[in-house]
A and B are shown apart, each in its own frame.
Chain A
Amino acid sequence: MSNRAPADPAPTADNRQKLLEATMRRHQYRPDALIEVLHKAQELYGHLSPQLLASIARSLHLPPSRVYGVATFYHFFSLAPQGEHTCTVCLGTACYVKGAMEILTALEAETGLKAGHTSPDGRLSLLTARCLGACGIAPAVVLDGVVIGHADAETLRARLHALLEATPVAS
């Protein structure tokens, strides 16, 4: 869950490439390091574009189908860009029993988004999780990487609203 604060200077293109190379070198370009490399790539680039997957396949000497297959198998990897902000509602059992569904419904109504989607302007992704392991403070919601426990629909709606208002579109 790496959500760069807007203040962070974005790593330059070649810098990111260098960091990714370093990770692959550390694993000696071994094919079995694929998942580690994909984790790093997503952390650096935010998502795994087709070009990125192709270049990883070349570096690790793996067929592109294998890389694509692994990237799509795991929920953690995203092939499409995520929104500038992300809001993840946990729908695990503990959260579900404590009303997580109502929270999600309220947020869907507030944002006009369906769970799993990103707004057309790229400002917000509304996501769900299967369990964050924060069940003791259920229902739990993650807003831009920060876990909020004992969440309720009203407060969340307000926080989301404030968040989208506060950051200028150009950030």
Chain B
Amino acid sequence: MDLAELHAIAERERARRKAVRVLCCTSSGCQASRSLELFHQLEAAVTATGQDEAVEVASVGCMGFCGQGPMVRVEPANLLFERVRPEQAPEIIAALAGQPCSVERGDPNHPFFTRQMHVVRRNGGIIDPERIEEYIAAGGYEALYRVLHDFSPAEVIQEITRSGLRGRGGAGYPTGLKWATVAKSPGERKFVVCNGDEGDPGAFMDRSILESDPHLVLEGMAIAAYAVGAHEGYIFVRGEYPLAIQRLNRAINQARKLGLLGSQIFETAFDFKVEIRVGAGAFVCGEETALIASIEGRRGQPRPRPPYPAEKGLWGFPTLINNVETFANIVPIIENGADWYAAIGTEKSKGTKVFALTGKVRNTGLIEVPMGMTLREIVEDLGGGSPDGTPVKAVQTGGPSGGCIPARLFDTPVDYESLAAAGSIMGSGGMVVMDDHTSMVEIARFYMAFCMDESCGKCVPCRVGTVQMHRLLSKIAAGQATPVDLEQLEQLCRLVRETSLCGLGQSAPNPVLSTLRYFREEYEALLREDAAASANGKP
């Protein structure tokens, strides 16, 4: 495979395109609403009306507006249909010929779409993720070619460093710096690992990227491997994501057949092979050292760092671990240059971020926006505010490691530093909107139950502390706690945060601390009056 052949594939693919494309989302969200059946009905309707010459129906990835799925979009007319039922397929196809159509129409000019900026989701809902030809026609694998021929590994790292990209897995560690560390670490073998565990409840960005554009992630991993000097890679995906696994498998096979993965890629000396490892359902396996243990076939228990995986990772070799979305940013950076990327976002948080906007908002789904957009813009403009008029109370970001940001702070820009200052974190990008019906004590209790169940049990503060905190929260929720209990809860929070071995335990208190910070009155309202009196010295 060389550049001419790559371009030939792209040419053939463009020539194959028909004048009208009916794009039907077959990602897991829409599949749950019978979009596969819809896809087949659309195909049948095209054939039945004798339009095979001019119209094609394509199965594409996520368009973002999952709450209104299944979604169908028609190009180039830019018609959008929402909540389509399979029975409505003939009507949509008839509408192409100008017939009236009663299917619910979406508005492509809705702020939900126009306020977004697609960098990593640029192919989502546009190409068929199961056909590598469509990815190539969209310019795919050219960045890898350029990197292998025109860049030294050090130059790649420099470009990523200059872009200002920070890890999208939660902590926001500078990606270029991590790559440089792995590149420097001596080792006979090196590994590149893609973290697709996505254990945060309320988050599905990585799933959607893997389902909608698997080659973007593979190409990013290959570029990373070249930069750090690795020849083997693993993608660790949750077992709960069967469609993502299936599409990744297919993508790997297709890329291998075309010589875009494997040995002597693009007729250079660079070899890179990738394997999938399926997670077995443990949140803690998203933690990098636990993830390594899991790939090695052991229990997914974290170990103390240092040594960091960049020095001693898989089987003791230097290992680069990045999140799915981090890898998905690489190709756009190489294509458009570090300066272009660094111009998007804020001073310290560059680029865009994909969020899963869910909970009590009108428009639920996936959005990709430049860093620095405020929570208000996201919840009110894109999200359309509360669905039933109940005032929005808070947004939870960062999952179990994050916190709740109250509505009065909605002018907070979404970037790593501002969210941290507000007592939460960016996390992987889940945003759960809560309204006045949601009890913050219940939410804190919910996350504590989660952490208690998911604690790997290796260290005492986390194993025992989460259980005790959960017990106290339950006691408060049941109206049986006293001010002493609340005090004890806060003490425990500090203790567990400071003495746990890994990020799970260290961050488990966050939802409690942040709800205590902003919604303390909800806790206090639940405390027992009489007991409060007894705590003050009366019998």
The interface of chain A, by Cβ under 8 A from chain B, is: 1, 30-36, 38-39, 66, 69-70, 73-77, 91-98, 129-138, 140, 146-149
- List 14 A-B pairs, Cβ < 8 Å: A1-B242, A34-B298, A36-B277, A36-B278, A36-B297, A69-B299, A70-B297, A70-B298, A75-B280, A93-B201, A93-B432, A93-B447, A98-B360, A149-B29
Q: How far is the CB of B356 from chain A (nearest CB, A)?
A: 6
Given A132-B240, A136-B365, are A149 and B32 also a contact pair (CB < 8 Å)? yes
Residue with the greatest number of chain B CB neighbours at <10 A, chosen from A30, A136, A140, A147: A136
Instruction: Tell me the complex Cα distance, A32–B369, Å.
Output: 40
**Is there an interface contact between A147 and B399, defined as CB atoms closer than 8 Å?**
no
**Is there an interface contact between A137 and B300, defined as CB atoms closer than 8 Å?**
no
Instruction: Tell me the complex Cα distance, A77–B447, Å.
Output: 23
Closest chain B residue to A42, Cβ basis: B280
Q: How far is the CB of A26 from chain B (nearest CB, A)?
A: 12
**Is there an interface contact between B28 and A147, defined as CB atoms closer than 8 Å?**
yes
B515 contacts partner chain A, Cβ-Cβ < 8 Å: no
B430 contacts partner chain A, Cβ-Cβ < 8 Å: yes
Other A-B contacts than A69-B299, A94-B359, A135-B204, 7 sampled, CB-CB below 8 A, are A39-B239, A74-B280, A75-B280, A77-B281, A93-B201, A94-B358, A149-B32
**Is there an interface contact between B201 and A131, defined as CB atoms closer than 8 Å?**
yes
CB neighbours of A135 from chain B (8 A): 201-204, 356, 358, 364, 430, 432
Closest chain A residue to B296, Cβ basis: A32
CB neighbours of B31 from chain A (8 A): 147
Q: How far is the CB of A78 from chain B (nearest CB, A)?
A: 10
Closest chain B residue to A136, Cβ basis: B66
CB neighbours of A146 from chain B (8 A): 32
Q: Which residues of chain B from 276 to 322 have any CB-CB distance to chain A below 8 Å in the complex? A: 277-283, 294-300
Q: How far is the CB of B203 from chain A (nearest CB, A)?
A: 7
CB neighbours of B201 from chain A (8 A): 91-96, 130-131, 135
**Is there an interface contact between A97 and B360, defined as CB atoms closer than 8 Å?**
yes
CB neighbours of B295 from chain A (8 A): 32
**Quick one: which of B277, B280, B434, B453 contacts A77, CB cutoff 8 A?**
B280
Closest chain A residue to B300, Cβ basis: A73
Q: How far is the CB of B424 from chain A (nearest CB, A)?
A: 13
CB neighbours of B297 from chain A (8 A): 30-36, 70
Closest chain A residue to B298, Cβ basis: A70
**Quick one: which of B241, B282, B446 contacts A133, CB cutoff 8 A?**
B241
CB neighbours of B152 from chain A (8 A): none
B164 contacts partner chain A, Cβ-Cβ < 8 Å: no
Closest chain A residue to B359, Cβ basis: A97
Closest chain B residue to A135, Cβ basis: B358
B199 contacts partner chain A, Cβ-Cβ < 8 Å: yes
The interface of chain B, by Cβ under 8 A from chain A, is: 28-29, 31-33, 66-67, 69, 198-204, 207, 238-242, 277-283, 294-300, 356, 358-360, 364-366, 396, 399, 430, 432-434, 438, 443, 446-447, 450, 453-454, 456
**Is there an interface contact between A137 and B198, defined as CB atoms closer than 8 Å?**
no
Instruction: Tell me the complex Cα distance, A134–B35, Å.
Output: 14
Given A133-B28, A133-B198, are A93 and B430 also a contact pair (CB < 8 Å)? yes
Instruction: Tell me the complex Cα distance, A32–B294, Å.
Output: 9
**Quick one: which of B67, B280, B446 contacts A137, CB cutoff 8 A?**
B67
**Is there an interface contact between B364 and A92, defined as CB atoms closer than 8 Å?**
no
Q: How far is the CB of B498 from chain A (nearest CB, A)?
A: 26
Given A134-B32, A137-B69, are A76 and B202 also a contact pair (CB < 8 Å)? no
Residue with the greatest number of chain B CB neighbours at <10 A, chosen from A31, A76, A130: A130
Instruction: Tell me the complex Cα distance, A1–B246, Å.
Output: 13
**Quick one: which of B299, B399, B446 contacts A96, CB cutoff 8 A?**
B446
**Is there an interface contact between A73 and B239, defined as CB atoms closer than 8 Å?**
no
Q: How far is the CB of A171 from chain B (nearest CB, A)?
A: 24
**Is there an interface contact between A93 and B29, defined as CB atoms closer than 8 Å?**
no
Instruction: Tell me the complex Cα distance, A133–B429, Å.
Output: 13
Instruction: Tell me the complex Cα distance, A129–B450, Å.
Output: 11
Instruction: Tell me the complex Cα distance, A98–B433, Å.
Output: 10
Instruction: Tell me the complex Cα distance, A66–B202, Å.
Output: 33
Instruction: Tell me the complex Cα distance, A93–B404, Å.
Output: 12
Instruction: Tell me the complex Cα distance, A66–B69, Å.
Output: 44
**Is there an interface contact between B280 and A35, defined as CB atoms closer than 8 Å?**
yes
**Quick one: which of B69, B281, B294 contacts A75, CB cutoff 8 A?**
B281
CB neighbours of B239 from chain A (8 A): 39, 76
Closest chain A residue to B438, Cβ basis: A97
Instruction: Tell me the complex Cα distance, A161–B365, Å.
Output: 31
Given A74-B300, A131-B203, are A97 and B364 also a contact pair (CB < 8 Å)? no
**Quick one: which of B29, B241, B299 contacts A136, CB cutoff 8 A?**
B29
Instruction: Tell me the complex Cα distance, A93–B432, Å.
Output: 7
Instruction: Tell me the complex Cα distance, A132–B29, Å.
Output: 10
CB neighbours of B365 from chain A (8 A): 136
